[in-house]
Chain A
Amino acid sequence: MSANWPERISAFLRSPSQFLCITTSDIFLAEVLHELRDDRASDLIKVLLLSPLLEHPTLLCPSVSVGEETALELMSVFAQCSPKSLPLRCHLLLALTSVLLCSCCVSSHTSASQDFLDLLLQMAQDTNDAQAGAALHPLRTTACDCLRELEACLPGLLSQRLELLSSLRQQENSRLHQAYTGLHALALRNAVYLLTQQKGAGAGDLKAALGSNEGFVWGEGADSAHPNSESHSDLALFSPLTLGPMGKVPSLQTGLDCKELRSLLSSLLEESYLLTSLSQAALLRRLVEVLAMVPAVSPTIFRAQLLRLLGTCKVCLLHTTLLMKAAFTDSLFSAEDEAFLLKRLVGLSQHPLLSTPEKLFYMDCILHFPENRPISSGDESLPVLLTPRLAAALVPTVFNDSVSMLARLNLLSLVYLEEGEEDREGQGGRGLAYLYDHLTSLLHIVENQASREMVVTFFRASFLFLLHFCHVERYSEDLSQRLCDLYLRRTRLAPHLINLADRTQDRLEESGWAVALLRALQRTITEAPLSQLTLQDLRWHLRILARVAEEGEVLQRATLNFLLCVITSSSSALCVSGDWRLGNGVLGVCRRLLLHPSLDSLLTPLADLLQHLTCHYGETDIQDHARLYYTLLTTLSQEKLAGVLAQRGTERGRQAKVRSLSAIMGETEELTSGLTVHQTERPLLRLVKLDKHEPDECKPEHKPDSEPACETESSPGQGGIEDYRAQFQSSSFASEITLQYHLTHIGVHDPHFDKLFSIRLHFDLTDGHYEEVSDISVPCLFRTRKPPTVRLRLKPKQPYHTTLRASAIFTTEDGLSWHSPLADLHVAFPEVFLPLLAPLGWAREKKQRVFEGIWGEICSGQSEGDLTNAATSLFCDQLEDLAVGELVEKHFQRYLVSDLDKGRCKVLFFLPPQSHVLLKVITEEDAVQVHIATDNWKLLPYINSYLEDITKEMHSTQQVNGDV
């Protein structure tokens, strides 16, 4: 087994869902824990074994209890580890942190998490290796990191230990001081934040908090780490405060008296230089937050660090400076500083030594530059100080990579858009002229066999240009002309052009540029000399013409003439070849023309075209469809035609597509998705058990017997037991139990699945105690309606409890089929019970006779030894008289053969196919005796635990009642 651990672990990490199809998470977890305990396994393997727990703790420890058990196991492995196994011990700490946090053990204050916290704190307190020596540095760092993560997930946890954290940080002289600093800064920030939320907190409270050295705070803040807890709304604890002019920062009114905090902050700042850039940036970020919350300390304490930060080559440190500026604006940054910072950002955005992602990030920072006096607070806005002169450093060129080029084009478009507003003629200035020149040079590149990436970039650039400058007709008209010329030379670009038209139409509806482009394309195609037309070009032309035909404003005469020419004059080749795809393309155009508002004027040529296709096209399928269209065209009114074909009409609409297999000529991609059964990622449905003891659910047809109440005194028949046995002659008699469920939605609300149709539920057995279960069909399930009831019929071979695997296949509104797993269905032992199966109208005495008859048989049979399966037993428990009544009413009512009288009654459970369990309940003082007789001794343990369960339940309700 151990040999294949690396393979298994990597298989798990690659795809946990696939891996857990073969095994279950609890089995896998048990195996992992077992192997971790094995002394023979090497440390390397053990570190590997921890990775599933490190990365997917929620899969392996789905509940607090499993998390707690796993944590206890890991802690004991940690305790028994050789002190030399440092990497293993570090990874154990990390795994413990993950498991405890993700299974909500910490937020539930379990004992394992308390022990773990104590352990971490104890390790962290060994500053300067006083006890364990320098060899344990990694372990100590990891312990600090774990504490920091715990504080991050449960903000405020360490808010009463600030004094300790501060002294640990100050004492430590080795490189580890960084870990202590990070921990201290975070705890400080959270503690100050919590103080701001306290009414009336002031300087005294702050001082007390800084000097506090109590215990962990498992307070309200801690609960919020539970991701499902809805109650906690204070997300500011997890996220940095929204800094900047728009954000509201809570503040702590301390007056001027906060010496302690000030000296603490300056000592942290002084040492910030000793941290790595990443940790330094994080520390500064925390301190900015603290300062923003405590207005009494002036932000000028950052001044000494500022030049160093402005000159840095590290993106994280410069970013911190920008965030500082957003937080403190002109109280820390003068107008010159602001101008300097912006120029610096422009310079960095094109610096030859920086990587592309960094430059892109700086460009993004320009668009969200934290100005001292912001005018607008839009999504992307230019800082006032960014002049066209300054921005010229960032003009796009053909030497840029695609992403940088687009980013620069976007930025410069914004710059020149503003410049253009000042320009009266609205024709844009030299800057705009440059951008357009740039676009045309890209177009030339695309003409010259550019790579696919270049083509895509060109169309993106065109879209971006149009977004900003569509109103400048000089350029937008020229662009559409150039695109048409480009298309004739590179017809393969048809999908790109259609995409560009679609997107501009969506975004710039009023401009009409897209329609103009389509009109121009139509003209280009239809006016080009037919003699040069190749089949390949025609294929693309048909795509474009089909898109053009969707535009009601565009006249379609030219399209039809073109098609007629292609089909009839040069007919021989095309029609004879009978190319299905081409024919399909022609029909695609026709189908859209059938929906065109100017259909009346197109009637004759369209009919001619369709007729020609019907008669001459060398492909039967195309002929058939053409004939169908022809018939539709000539016999239906335009409204009806629209009705028949309408569903295709919304095809281009990017709303929910209506997919239907009956749609004529579905496009291939849609057809495939329509034919595929898709898999939902998580269960969408569940079955909720209906309690059949509720009176409204006890419909007579599901109960083979009638209630004692509605029994009529009629048949005085004798020899109950023989009659009873006779019923079993028919093999199908009482062989089934029926369970009822409600089928409902679960999980996150996804409107896509609000209406489900043709649901087919499928059940798989997990053991051999039952016959195969047949599928159940449910016509529909709407989230807004009452859930439908599902009746599950089970035919036991052995009357034991079982678990069924359930899944559902259904169709959503848009016609897609889905397969979705359901949670396993557990059928408990008492759910198999049926009452005595007596024909309607049997008197109670007769039933009692049957009871006594079976009882007698069992007792005598057992003593004689011929009924080998028979057994009797006795169950006792302390229960008061009253409680016995309640017990009987709650659990035995359906199965009573005699009414409860002086604490005595008789109960009969029939368990299909052939087993009986008979109970005689006798109450004496405060004890209840249940005499049990059964003709299937294998049921005894189940009966016993069943009785234990129900009496335990009685005890607990008694307890509650007693307490009240």
Chain B
Amino acid sequence: MSVRALWIISYERGESVAVRFSRRYPTVEQRAKCMAGSLYVSVPEDGTVLQLLLTELGLSDSDKPYMALRDDCLHQQRSPALELHVEGPSGGVLWPVLVFSQGPLILACLAMVDAPADPRPPLASLFSVSQGLTLLAGLQAFLCGSGSKPDREGLTSRLAMMPSILLQICPLGTPLDIPQPGASSASAMPTPAGTQKQPAWKTGVHRGRAVVNVALTEMVRSMQYGNRNRQDLWDVYGTVTCKCEVEGVLPNVTVTLTLPPNGSPLMDVLVHPCVSSLDASVLTAMSVEDCDSSAFSGPYKFPFSPPLEPFRLCSYTSQVPVPPILGTYQLKDDDNQLRITVSLKLHESVRNSFEYCEAHLPFFNRDQMGSVDVKVSSGQLEVSKEKNLLVWVLGQKFPKSREVSLEGSVSFSGELPGPTDPLCTDLTAYIKLYFRVPDVTLSGCCVDQHSVQVYSSAKPRIVTSRELLSSEYFIWNSTGTAPVSSGHMML
């Protein structure tokens, strides 16, 4: 149930690669040695580990097109655990090395195999693997902060905190907790001595005005092909984020999600561990099987005792009947000139009030754009500085007809070649939509202010909000071949 060692590596393509932090757990190592017997392989020094890890991740010697060690097709890296092949007389295979990488950070840990080493036990039977994954995910969230890319200074200061953080969360190789990203707020007070046991995940108790904030965010994904032979796809996933400032050691809060009548049920519901009990019906609907129309469709009750920091109470996916924006995209190649026709239609059920809405039309594997002769029925058209992307800014509103169109031609007579992409060759091209609609969810799911119950002495202020965001919203050119994006369409 433990990890033998932990590494934090910064990797910037073409720039610097370095082990920024590492920690070994010798007492775990003793146990690992005992378990593995003659198959024991000791953990090499950081420099060696770094080299082996980069080779295994395919990142070493990026200037060489082929390296047997790195590119052998026999290495099937299809599991979350890597093997490091340690050379030399005391060499062997170090396994399982778990790796998380995001942006310039690579986090890795070597989990202890607490089962006889031969034959190699399946990964799924090793408890230390899920512990290691949870630890790494927690460390990653802490080091990267809220943004996807950590800033250099912030990262350095957080790395400097690692020894004291590990003292709390993993002092001797057995992970106990993950670091709390927003360190305890000022309002947190030490717990008064009482009979109620304080949850270990709560650093103190809240003092002051009670406020409960529940935010619902839905992301919509879509792949539209404009092709009769190929079904368009779209789906929605949502998250409910809470910040609860409520007094008491173990206060009870219940948040209820409701769907409109005939709404399709919430599927694949995942809950935060602070949810104290769940009804079986909440979990029944799943996206991987056909939906039963008589299925449970709410209300979805989530009783929990909140931690001090903001947290994701639950998430779900949903199949909605229509995409919010339906589009068509047609390209015609005409003598180094592309004739473009686009039309977008906002569905009537979606509120016509965007915070922003943009359509991006990138062009790959061509020269830079020369003349752009394109007209739009609404909004403005911009050409990116690099001259390889048209940005159609649709603004806050679609016109009354809820339909907009773009038509014209673009020549690619620029001096420099534009960006390349192995997927978008010839007439394979896409439009990607970016939009945010406040106060709307596509599934119709909502959190009613009055449905939030808080069992505490003071009456809390309750704030709820919801929004719809686009994520991977693609409209493919219907005159070119478009890649398959899901297995459901072919079966």
The answer to whether A101 touches B27, judged by C-beta atoms less than 8 angstroms apart, is yes
B176 partner, pick from A17, A276, A409, beta carbons under 8 A: A276
The answer to whether A393 touches B487, judged by C-beta atoms less than 8 angstroms apart, is yes
A496 partner, pick from B73, B125, B127, B178, beta carbons under 8 A: B73
Counting residue pairs across A and B whose Cβ atoms lie within 8 Å, the total is 383
A323 at the interface (CB under 8 A from B): yes
Proximity string of chain A (314-336) to chain B, C-beta cutoff 8 Å, 1 when within and 0 when not:
11111110110010000000000
Nearest A residue to B77 via CB reads: A403
- In the bound assembly, the distance between CA atoms of A242 and B237 in angstroms comes to 38
Q: Which residues of A contact B284 (CB under 8 A)?
A: 340
B47 partner, pick from A15, A277, A388, A747, beta carbons under 8 A: A15
- In the bound assembly, the distance between CA atoms of A731 and B341 in angstroms comes to 105
A174 at the interface (CB under 8 A from B): yes
B105 at the interface (CB under 8 A from A): no
- In the bound assembly, the distance between CA atoms of A240 and B31 in angstroms comes to 12
Proximity string of chain B (22-45) to chain A, C-beta cutoff 8 Å, 1 when within and 0 when not:
111111011101110010000001
The answer to whether B137 touches A355, judged by C-beta atoms less than 8 angstroms apart, is yes
The answer to whether B268 touches A316, judged by C-beta atoms less than 8 angstroms apart, is no
The answer to whether B89 touches A752, judged by C-beta atoms less than 8 angstroms apart, is yes
Q: Which of A84-142 contact B (CB under 8 A)?
A: 87, 90-91, 94, 97-98, 101-102, 128, 134, 138, 141-142
The answer to whether B31 touches A152, judged by C-beta atoms less than 8 angstroms apart, is yes
- In the bound assembly, the distance between CA atoms of A312 and B271 in angstroms comes to 5
- In the bound assembly, the distance between CA atoms of A448 and B30 in angstroms comes to 51
Q: Which residues of B contact A276 (CB under 8 A)?
A: 176-178, 200-201
The answer to whether A278 touches B135, judged by C-beta atoms less than 8 angstroms apart, is yes
- In the bound assembly, the distance between CA atoms of A343 and B100 in angstroms comes to 25
Give the shortest distance, in Å, between A348 (CB) and chain B (any CB). 8
- In the bound assembly, the distance between CA atoms of A692 and B473 in angstroms comes to 86
Nearest B residue to A753 via CB reads: B89
B78 at the interface (CB under 8 A from A): yes
A940 at the interface (CB under 8 A from B): no
Nearest A residue to B239 via CB reads: A353
- In the bound assembly, the distance between CA atoms of A280 and B30 in angstroms comes to 25
Q: Which residues of B contact A56 (CB under 8 A)?
A: 24, 26
The answer to whether B271 touches A389, judged by C-beta atoms less than 8 angstroms apart, is no
B456 at the interface (CB under 8 A from A): no
Q: Which residues of B contact A352 (CB under 8 A)?
A: 219, 221, 237, 317, 471
Proximity string of chain A (41-79) to chain B, C-beta cutoff 8 Å, 1 when within and 0 when not:
000000100010011111000000000000000000000
The CB with the most chain A CB atoms within 10 A, among B34, B89, B237, is that of B89
- In the bound assembly, the distance between CA atoms of A351 and B78 in angstroms comes to 17
- In the bound assembly, the distance between CA atoms of A242 and B34 in angstroms comes to 17
Nearest B residue to A437 via CB reads: B484
Total interface residues on B, CB under 8 Å, equals 126
The answer to whether B100 touches A94, judged by C-beta atoms less than 8 angstroms apart, is no
A663 at the interface (CB under 8 A from B): no
B122 at the interface (CB under 8 A from A): yes
B124 partner, pick from A177, A179, A322, beta carbons under 8 A: A322
Proximity string of chain A (411-443) to chain B, C-beta cutoff 8 Å, 1 when within and 0 when not:
000000000000000000011001001100100
CB contact under 8 A between A393 and B288, given known A142-B171, A173-B198, A239-B35: yes
Total interface residues on A, CB under 8 Å, equals 152
Q: Which of A684-712 contact B (CB under 8 A)?
A: 684
Proximity string of chain B (465-484) to chain A, C-beta cutoff 8 Å, 1 when within and 0 when not:
00000010000000000011
- In the bound assembly, the distance between CA atoms of A276 and B272 in angstroms comes to 11
The answer to whether B190 touches A397, judged by C-beta atoms less than 8 angstroms apart, is no
B401 at the interface (CB under 8 A from A): no
Give the shortest distance, in Å, between A381 (CB) and chain B (any CB). 10
Q: Which of B180-197 contact A (CB under 8 A)?
A: 190-191, 193-197
B293 at the interface (CB under 8 A from A): no
A838 at the interface (CB under 8 A from B): no
The CB with the most chain B CB atoms within 10 A, among A398, A399, A753, is that of A399
A392 at the interface (CB under 8 A from B): yes
Q: Which residues of B contact A364 (CB under 8 A)?
A: 79-80, 122-124
The answer to whether A353 touches B116, judged by C-beta atoms less than 8 angstroms apart, is no
The answer to whether A242 touches B115, judged by C-beta atoms less than 8 angstroms apart, is yes
The answer to whether A278 touches B178, judged by C-beta atoms less than 8 angstroms apart, is yes
A492 at the interface (CB under 8 A from B): yes
B286 at the interface (CB under 8 A from A): yes
Binds B, one of A204-212, A451-459, A574-582, A601-609: A451-459
Q: Which residues of B contact A318 (CB under 8 A)?
A: 130
- In the bound assembly, the distance between CA atoms of A360 and B80 in angstroms comes to 6
Proximity string of chain B (1-33) to chain A, C-beta cutoff 8 Å, 1 when within and 0 when not:
110000000000000000100111111011101
- In the bound assembly, the distance between CA atoms of A500 and B33 in angstroms comes to 36
Proximity string of chain A (733-752) to chain B, C-beta cutoff 8 Å, 1 when within and 0 when not:
00000000000000110101
The answer to whether A312 touches B200, judged by C-beta atoms less than 8 angstroms apart, is no
The answer to whether B271 touches A175, judged by C-beta atoms less than 8 angstroms apart, is no
B99 at the interface (CB under 8 A from A): yes
Binds A, one of B366-374, B407-415, B420-428: B420-428
- Overall SS of chain A's interface: helix
- In the bound assembly, the distance between CA atoms of A445 and B484 in angstroms comes to 13
A680 at the interface (CB under 8 A from B): yes
A175 partner, pick from B175, B203, B283, B312, beta carbons under 8 A: B203
Proximity string of chain B (58-82) to chain A, C-beta cutoff 8 Å, 1 when within and 0 when not:
1000100110101111111111100
B294 at the interface (CB under 8 A from A): no
A315 partner, pick from B24, B134, B196, beta carbons under 8 A: B134
Nearest A residue to B313 via CB reads: A313
The answer to whether A174 touches B65, judged by C-beta atoms less than 8 angstroms apart, is no
The answer to whether B124 touches A365, judged by C-beta atoms less than 8 angstroms apart, is yes
A728 at the interface (CB under 8 A from B): no
Q: Which residues of A contact B90 (CB under 8 A)?
A: 681-682, 748
CB contact under 8 A between A55 and B127, given known A357-B100, A753-B89: no
- In the bound assembly, the distance between CA atoms of A174 and B196 in angstroms comes to 9
A782 at the interface (CB under 8 A from B): no
Give the shortest distance, in Å, between B157 (CB) and chain A (any CB). 15
The answer to whether A368 touches B130, judged by C-beta atoms less than 8 angstroms apart, is no
A942 at the interface (CB under 8 A from B): no
A271 at the interface (CB under 8 A from B): yes
- In the bound assembly, the distance between CA atoms of A796 and B89 in angstroms comes to 36
Q: Which of A378-399 contact B (CB under 8 A)?
A: 379, 388-390, 392-395, 397-399
Q: Which residues of A contact B35 (CB under 8 A)?
A: 235, 238-239
Nearest B residue to A155 via CB reads: B31
- In the bound assembly, the distance between CA atoms of A496 and B73 in angstroms comes to 8
CB contact under 8 A between A314 and B26, given known A224-B34, A355-B137: no
Binds A, one of B257-265, B274-282, B376-384, B387-395: B274-282
A255 at the interface (CB under 8 A from B): no
Give the shortest distance, in Å, between B183 (CB) and chain A (any CB). 15
Give the shortest distance, in Å, between A11 (CB) and chain B (any CB). 11
Give the shortest distance, in Å, between A543 (CB) and chain B (any CB). 11
- In the bound assembly, the distance between CA atoms of A434 and B487 in angstroms comes to 9
A486 at the interface (CB under 8 A from B): no
The answer to whether B193 touches A361, judged by C-beta atoms less than 8 angstroms apart, is no
Binds A, one of B162-170, B331-339, B352-360, B431-439: B162-170
A178 at the interface (CB under 8 A from B): yes
Nearest B residue to A352 via CB reads: B237
Nearest A residue to B270 via CB reads: A313
- In the bound assembly, the distance between CA atoms of A174 and B189 in angstroms comes to 13
The CB with the most chain A CB atoms within 10 A, among B197, B221, B490, is that of B197
The answer to whether B171 touches A145, judged by C-beta atoms less than 8 angstroms apart, is yes
Nearest A residue to B420 via CB reads: A449
The answer to whether B288 touches A346, judged by C-beta atoms less than 8 angstroms apart, is yes
B27 partner, pick from A149, A240, A350, beta carbons under 8 A: A149
Proximity string of chain B (70-111) to chain A, C-beta cutoff 8 Å, 1 when within and 0 when not:
111111111110000000111100000011100000000000
- In the bound assembly, the distance between CA atoms of A102 and B239 in angstroms comes to 47
The answer to whether A13 touches B129, judged by C-beta atoms less than 8 angstroms apart, is no
Can you report 18 A-B residue pairs in the complex whose CB atoms are below 8 A from each other?
A: A13-B22, A14-B45, A15-B45, A102-B27, A142-B171, A148-B172, A175-B203, A244-B125, A281-B127, A282-B174, A308-B278, A351-B270, A399-B485, A409-B78, A430-B491, A445-B422, A678-B88, A750-B89
A-B pairs with the 5 shortest C-beta distances? A395-B487, A319-B130, A178-B200, A407-B78, A313-B270
